[in-house]
Amino acid sequence: MSKLSTTFLGHTFANPLMNASGVYCMDATDLGALHTSDSGSYITKSCTLEARAGNPEPRYRATPLGSINSMGLPNKGYGYYLDLARAHDYSHKPLFMSVAGLSLADNLVMMRTIRDANLPAIVELNLSCPNVPGKPQIAYDFAAMDAMLAAVTKEYTRPIGVKMPPYFDIAHFDEAAAILNRYPTVAFITCINSIGNALVIDTESESVVIKPKDGFGGIGGDYVLPTALANVNAFYRRCPEKRVIGCGGVKTGEHVFQHLLAGASLVQVGTALQEEGPGIFARLNAELIALLDRKGYKNIDEVRGRLKTL
């Protein structure tokens, strides 16, 4: 066993790194690059019942401090990812599937089909999915989130995870965690999705930089690391029976280490993977090993949740 290897939901991972859903995971070409990379695992693009083209371009832009996107859920439809999951070599590395139905009914259809396929793939349910128009996304509407989890976990009784947007208020951490804790088969919580509805402005052109939603979009990268660490740690403290996957602002091995300290068991890479490509996983693993060596840690399980307070 190498220094970076770990276990999660009964699966063995060579290292804690994977892509954030949405990055390098739309089709078999993208996913093939993740398969052959030095990631410990990888996840498919959030899927819907039917394939979607997504929003008009430009719909993603990198900035010196991160990225903004309003992709609009472009994906090949859940059947495509389920076929890849059927063909996946699970002895090479574990595979996650992200599911983001446009309604509770759509999620139930997808979850039943995935259940009946009886694969080792691990489902991450994206709770940033649309709700009734005029209402916030599911994860910002706690009654809708509770109803979604009740219905999904009733049909799909194997362990699942939920992808959460960031919260910014202690009362919201408390309420979200209390809801998640009512569902024992919600085995992991991935924190965080992009910080929603930000606006990047280009001074020279006096313009927005992405076309959809008058330039509004979710931000990732350097902008979000402290928010991501807070959300990882908030759910790690409140949900002791669950695992947490860290996502947000990871660009160096040091950032991976900080997510582990905050309580993450695995760590996802979004914007930095989009900008650097799948070669980033070899660099992050090397940087993390060097940091663990310098600090005298024998493995990453020793680091998890060891954040000190003052």
Q: Which residues are catalytic?
A: 129
User: In the bound complex, what is the minimum distance in angstroms from residue 22's beta carbon to ligand YRO?
Assistant: 5
User: In the bound complex, what is the minimum distance in angstroms from residue 208's beta carbon to ligand YRO?
Assistant: 16
Strands 42-43 vs 201-202: parallel, antiparallel or unpaired: unpaired
Question: Of the two residues 72 and 305, which places its CB atom closer to ligand YRO in the complex?
Answer: 72
Which positions from 59 through 118 interact with ligand YRO, judged by CB under 6 A? 69-73, 100
Question: Of the two residues 196 and 305, which places its CB atom closer to ligand YRO in the complex?
Answer: 196
Residue 57 contacts residue 211 (beta carbons within 8 Å): yes
Question: Of the two residues 71 and 256, which places its CB atom closer to ligand YRO in the complex?
Answer: 71
**Which of these segments, 127-135, 167-175, 221-229, 237-245, binds ligand YRO (CB under 6 A)?**
127-135
Distances (CA, A) of 276 to 62, 64, 111, 152, 269: 11, 13, 33, 36, 11
**Which of these segments, 30-38, 125-133, 199-207, 255-263, binds ligand YRO (CB under 6 A)?**
125-133
The conformational region for residue 120 under phi > 0 = left, psi -120 to 50 = alpha, else beta, is alpha
**Does 194 engage in binding with ligand YRO (CB under 6 A)?**
yes
CA 28 to CA 26: how far, in whole Å? 7
Q: Among 19, 37, 48, 126, which residue sits at the site for ligand YRO (rule: CB under 6 A)?
A: 126
User: In the bound complex, what is the minimum distance in angstroms from residue 270's beta carbon to ligand YRO?
Assistant: 8
Q: Among 22, 66, 101, 248, which residue sits at the site for ligand YRO (rule: CB under 6 A)?
A: 22
Map residues 232-271 to x or -, x wherever contact with ligand YRO holds by CB under 6 A. Answer: ----------------------------------------
- State the residues that interact with ligand YRO by CB under 6 A: 22, 46, 69-73, 100, 126, 128-130, 193-194, 218
